[in-house]
Chain A
Amino acid sequence: MIRLENLTKLYGSFVAVDDISLHVPRGVLYGCLGPNGAGKTTTLRMIAGILRPTQGRVLLGGDDVHVNPISAKMRLGFIPDRPFVYDKLTGAEFLRFVAGLYGQEGDTVERRVAELLEVFELTSWKDELVEAYSHGMRQKLIISSALIHRPECIVVDEPMVGLDPKAARLLKDIFRQFVERGGTVMMSTHTLEIAEAMCDQIAIIQHGKIVAAGSVDDVRRQHKAGDASLEELFLKLTGGAKFRELAEVLGK
């Protein structure tokens, strides 16, 4: 469903993403892990068609995002890490607007809007301007907007940031069900427990390159990590194990 071919992104001389190739089939929840600045967000934004790759290409369901953007993006729902929405629209108006961008309108959209607002417990806020929403509520609204047109794949950057435990649990369930029904999710996260519990496959990215990929067990086997937790494996692969003593960092 999502195919990256030799994807590279340069900012001047800085290589943010370095020749990444991967394939995420239908019905798979794929996790991108990596330290801050590893290139995860840049990769996801290239998949969503927001950034143009310097080299390589992104295919969504066979369509190149930058050559056939309309048909590729019809399949996609994108959830960014920072929830910027139009402050002067109400929640319901925002969802209707997004549905319109995907060419949808009428009673079907109204029902879908009501349904999503209900699921994310935003019904009582639907006629209030977004400027009054909290960070978590905005995040829920954006997640709803990514689902409004019933996408085939969802690309999500740090999905759990700002969500309360109930909403986080809800989102996990939604993603799982979405994948079980044949959808594809590609997400980046720093929460390794979530990645271990939810993802069918993972890729660990560092300095713009994939340093390990496959199921968590595959990665353990590849790197002879035995029964190590994903956290230990992550720190081993990304050099985080070389931390100074905690006492030294925190002071005595």
Chain B
Amino acid sequence: MKQPSLAHVLQPKWRTALQRLREERASGGTGKFVLLALVGGAFWAGVFGVLYRILKTLRGVEELGPLIPGKMLGLILLSFISILVLSNVITALSSFFLAKDLDLLVSAPVDWLRLYLAKLGETLLHSSWMVALMIVPILTAYGVVYKGGVLFIVYALLAIVPMLILPAVLGCAVTLVLVNIFPARRTRDLLSIIALGAGGGVILLFRMIRPEQLARPEGFRNLLDFVILLRGPTSPFLPSEWASQAIMGYLRHEFDPLPLMLLWTTAAAFVALGAVLHRALYAQGFTKAQEGAERFIRGGFWRWTIGSVLRFLPVAKREFVLKDVKLFFRDTTQWSQLILLAVLIVVYLFNIQALPLHRGEPVGFFYVNLVSFLNLGLAGFVLASIAARFIFPAVSLEGRQMWLLRSSPLDLRALLWSKYWVGTVPLLVLGLILTGVTNTLLEVSAFMMILSLATMASLTLAISAMALTFGTLYPQFETENAAQIPTSFGGLVFMMATIALLAAVLMLLSRAVYTYVRGTWDGQSVGVTPEMLVWFAVAAALCAAATFVPLRMALRKMETFEF
């Protein structure tokens, strides 16, 4: 029998993608596209600009100048490869074992090699597109600084493509072996915890070694050792090193075909070995993947704890809150993000504590207040990111069960109310702790402490409302993975709107804070003046409006949902 072509096997995927594009265009998606292009372009320009300056400066430095860019590229590509292996392992689990099209493909007379190549391609595309886009401005900066010319684009592609294939094959192979050991659903849980734990660990480690110390002049005392370290390859057996050697060789006009040959032959060998492994283990793994995760849940921990605390609520609201809490803590892809969150908060507080504000020198009163004030914006941004992760997807995650909620007598206001408070209460506690602890570390005055806490509370209420509303205005009902929802267009719009709100509130409060700091600096005892009260009132009104108007919009939008 003639086997269908790879393109044919992948047809449903690319046809779906094309149809989505058409639907976007039909529903007036041009504005959306322009906004995405603008944000993406600005990001690219930023990365390019920073790297361009660094490379340009380094080119002018003797001895170290020619060595560091190569080393830097090697490190960047190494970090990309590490990310790629992790993301390929997770993506491979969906594309090889959990995807909805697998029943059709596995039952059709499609041979194992085509299935492997099609799914490998799909995994590679899904897990590598973001890294591939990140590489573009980086290599452009290298190409421009070293005058690589137009042919550099082709050469860079030749070096990067096999570097993307290798982690994809490796990721698929790791997943294949894991699924043969554990059931697929358990593997997914295991992987999300390992991936996030590893990510968190790396961030924590990186912060704790205090890289800012490297910038001190005494860090360069042992220059010779440093140069020797830079001359040697970091990891001669890693494809990132080959890719960086190939690219730097081309840019320095020292053409050496070996790194490229190493990349391509290893990639080909990996694909062949991956295919052999797939042939041997896939059928058994696919069968194991069909097994449900048998999990008996006895007892009623949440009912006894949260259920008892919420006794005062009407039963529908209480059951809804309980349901949301249970779903969150039983979904590993959701709660495991808390690991990363905890790490980020530790790093955040560590950074504040590491600020050289109280180091024996006369305390910079002005700086303490400035940092405390600007910290409001930063903490607000952290809270917005958390809201994007946990509150923004709340309505989208109800999509498949909306038949039940809409056909029951549950008032949509109660639904919205539950979603809002389930997200807001933890966020509020976190926001207040973050601000309180930071201000205690900074040893700020009572005025700044009260102002910060009140502002943070008002901002949190508004940020939650906006997250819920933008999640309702741009729902993703078809997405099964909650972690993908915040990266959608609506998530981007929410983050932009929140940044605008933070900027507006800080601007409004800055006059009041300035009056206070100035007065205290001049040695006067400053109380709350009528002018300050006006600024506080306007800021509070803005936060209130940013809370209630969005929630009303969300309610109206929900009333129009049809399923």
Option from A45, A74, A84 in Cβ contact (under 8 Å) with B409: A74
Which residues of chain B are within 8 angstroms of A48 by Cβ–Cβ distance?
403, 406-407
Which residues of chain B are within 8 angstroms of A96 by Cβ–Cβ distance?
319
Which residues of chain B are within 8 angstroms of A51 by Cβ–Cβ distance?
562-563
Inter-subunit contact B327/A88 (CB<8 Å):
yes
A70-B409, A100-B318, A104-B315 given as contacts; is B327 within 8 A of A86 (CB)? Answer: yes
Option from B295, B330, B404 in Cβ contact (under 8 Å) with A132: B295
Docked CA distance A98–B562 (Å): 20
| Proximity string of chain B (424-435) to chain A, C-beta cutoff 8 Å, 1 when within and 0 when not | 000000000000
Whether B326 is near chain A, meaning CB under 8 Å from some CB there, is yes
Option from A80, A89, A101, A128 in Cβ contact (under 8 Å) with B316: A101
A80 and chain B: residue at smallest CB distance: B403
Whether A69 is near chain B, meaning CB under 8 Å from some CB there, is yes
Inter-subunit contact B409/A93 (CB<8 Å):
no
B residues 265-307 touching A (CB-CB < 8 Å):
292-298
Inter-subunit contact A128/B323 (CB<8 Å):
no
Inter-subunit contact A128/B294 (CB<8 Å):
yes
Whether A90 is near chain B, meaning CB under 8 Å from some CB there, is yes
A residues 39-79 touching B (CB-CB < 8 Å):
45, 48-52, 69-71, 73-74, 76, 78
Whether A145 is near chain B, meaning CB under 8 Å from some CB there, is yes
Option from A84, A98, A105, A132 in Cβ contact (under 8 Å) with B408: A98
Whether A103 is near chain B, meaning CB under 8 Å from some CB there, is yes
A48-B406, A49-B407, A101-B410 given as contacts; is B401 within 8 A of A86 (CB)? Answer: yes
Inter-subunit contact A100/B316 (CB<8 Å):
yes
Closest chain A CB from B486 CB (angstroms): 20
Inter-subunit contact A88/B185 (CB<8 Å):
no
Most buried by A among B314, B319, B401, B411: B319
- The number of residue pairs between A and B whose CB atoms lie closer than 8 Å in the complex comes to 99
Inter-subunit contact B407/A78 (CB<8 Å):
yes
Which residues of chain A are within 8 angstroms of B407 by Cβ–Cβ distance?
48-50, 73, 76, 78
Total chain B interface residues with beta-carbon distance under 8 A: 35
Option from B293, B316, B403, B409 in Cβ contact (under 8 Å) with A50: B403
Which residues of chain B are within 8 angstroms of A74 by Cβ–Cβ distance?
409
Inter-subunit contact B296/A128 (CB<8 Å):
yes
Option from A52, A86, A90, A145 in Cβ contact (under 8 Å) with B562: A52
A74-B409, A128-B294 given as contacts; is B327 within 8 A of A50 (CB)? Answer: no
A76-B407, A85-B401 given as contacts; is B320 within 8 A of A100 (CB)? Answer: yes
Whether B405 is near chain A, meaning CB under 8 Å from some CB there, is yes
A52-B562, A104-B315, A105-B315 given as contacts; is B294 within 8 A of A73 (CB)? Answer: no
Docked CA distance A100–B313 (Å): 11
Whether B402 is near chain A, meaning CB under 8 Å from some CB there, is yes
Whether A127 is near chain B, meaning CB under 8 Å from some CB there, is yes
Most buried by B among A52, A70, A88: A88
Inter-subunit contact A131/B408 (CB<8 Å):
no
Inter-subunit contact B316/A131 (CB<8 Å):
no
Whether A97 is near chain B, meaning CB under 8 Å from some CB there, is yes
Which residues of chain A are within 8 angstroms of B294 by Cβ–Cβ distance?
128, 132
Whether A129 is near chain B, meaning CB under 8 Å from some CB there, is yes
Inter-subunit contact B401/A103 (CB<8 Å):
no
Which residues of chain A are within 8 angstroms of B318 by Cβ–Cβ distance?
100
Interface of A toward B, CB cutoff 8 Å: 45, 48-52, 69-71, 73-74, 76, 78, 80, 84-86, 88-90, 93, 96-105, 127-129, 131-132, 145
Interface of B toward A, CB cutoff 8 Å: 185, 292-298, 314-316, 318-320, 322-323, 326-327, 330-331, 400-411, 560, 562-563
Given A70-B411, A102-B316, A103-B409: 13 more A-B contacts, CB < 8 Å: A76-B407, A84-B401, A85-B401, A88-B327, A93-B326, A99-B319, A100-B318, A101-B319, A103-B316, A105-B319, A127-B296, A128-B295, A132-B294
